[in-house]
Structure 1
Amino acid sequence: MSRAETLRDRYRRRLPNRLDELDGPAHGTVDLPLHIVWSGRTNYTLDRPKSCMTLYRTVLAEGMREDLAAYLNRRLLLEQWPVLRRLISPHLRDVWEGAFPELVRSASTAGAAA
């Protein structure tokens, strides 16, 4: 299996069944555990767009299925996706957009509005 296929498979196994399972906080401060962010910053403020975007990038790339549900919020993910999709790896983006067409629609709608 190629490196790209291995990465896609790893990300696919972590996916929630539905975006509705992403029931994390939408406001306030979040402290990520060391198994997600093992060095550097661990504290993020969801009400600050740049901080929120960094948290989502980190959790998408490093979090397990339970972490995705605990730290990501469906509404925030959909709102951020048009920009976030350009900041994550193409393998991660392809897996999430392949599983959740609403993310693709979110990105398309934002592009049409710009």
Structure 2
Amino acid sequence: MVGPEHGMVDLPLHIARSALRTLHLDLPRQRMNPYRTVLAEGMRDGLRHFLNRDILRELWPVLHKIIRRAVKDLREEALPELRP
């Protein structure tokens, strides 16, 4: 993963379908968004191109919880019998 560490990131439409596709990696509140989006929607090339290994390691303690919760919600929406 050799994605950018600083500056602006423009995510392509096939990864970020919302109007918010340009994000600033130097702003802590915006830094999490492209990583969450790329992990959820990106393919292997997107992961390599847009994610930076050091930033991913820094964000992972929070990101993995968000992703796990989102996957759980999707799974339970598709299969309501899995709800506790």
TM-score, normalization: structure 1? 0.58
Corresponding position of 1:69: 48
Instruction: Tell me, in whole angstroms, the C-alpha distance in 1 between the residues paired with 2:39 and 2:56.
Output: 10
Shift of 1:91: 8.2
Question: Identical aligned pairs, as a percentage?
Answer: 52
* Correspondent of 2:33 among 54, 64, 70: 54
Corresponding position of 2:3: 24
| Alignment coverage as a number of residue pairs | 71
- Within a 5 Å distance, the mapping from 1:1-114 to structure 2 comes to 22-89=1-68
Instruction: Tell me, in whole angstroms, the C-alpha distance in 1 between the residues paired with 2:28 and 2:63.
Output: 11
Q: Deviations for 1:17-70, whole angstroms, at most 9, x for unmatched residues?
A: xxxxx1000000000000001222001100111211011000000001000000
Residue aligned with 2:12, SS: coil
4+ runs deviating over 4 angstroms: none
Shift of 1:90: 5.1
Runs of 5+ unmatched residues, structure 1? 1-21, 93-114
Runs of 5+ unmatched residues, structure 2? 72-84
TM-score, normalization: structure 2? 0.78
